[in-house]
Amino acid sequence: MHALDVLGDPVRRRILELIADGEAPAGDVGRVIQAEFGISQPAVSQHLRVLRESGFVTVRPDGARRLYAVDPEPLAQADAWFDTFRRFWQPKLDALGTELARGRLAQRKAAVGERGRDHPSATLTPKEH
Residue 12 — pLDDT band, cuts 50, 70, 90? very high
CB atoms within 10 A of CB 28: 14
Q: Give the per-residue pLDDT at 122.
A: 54
Question: Which is more confidently placed, 41 or 90?
Answer: 41
Cα 48 to Cα 14, 45, 53, 54, 98: the distances in Å are 11, 5, 9, 10, 39
Q: Give the per-residue pLDDT at 113.
A: 81
Q: Give the per-residue pLDDT at 116.
A: 67
What is d(CA 125, CA 84) in angstroms, rounded to the nearest whole number? 62
pTM of the model: 0.67
The whole-number average pLDDT for the span 116-129 is: 58
Residue 128 — pLDDT band, cuts 50, 70, 90? low
Q: Give the per-residue pLDDT at 127.
A: 59
* Residue range 39-88, pLDDT digits in tens: 999 999 999 999 999 999 999 999 999 999 999 999 888 888 888 888 88
* Residue range 96-122, pLDDT digits in tens: 889 999 999 999 999 888 776 665 555
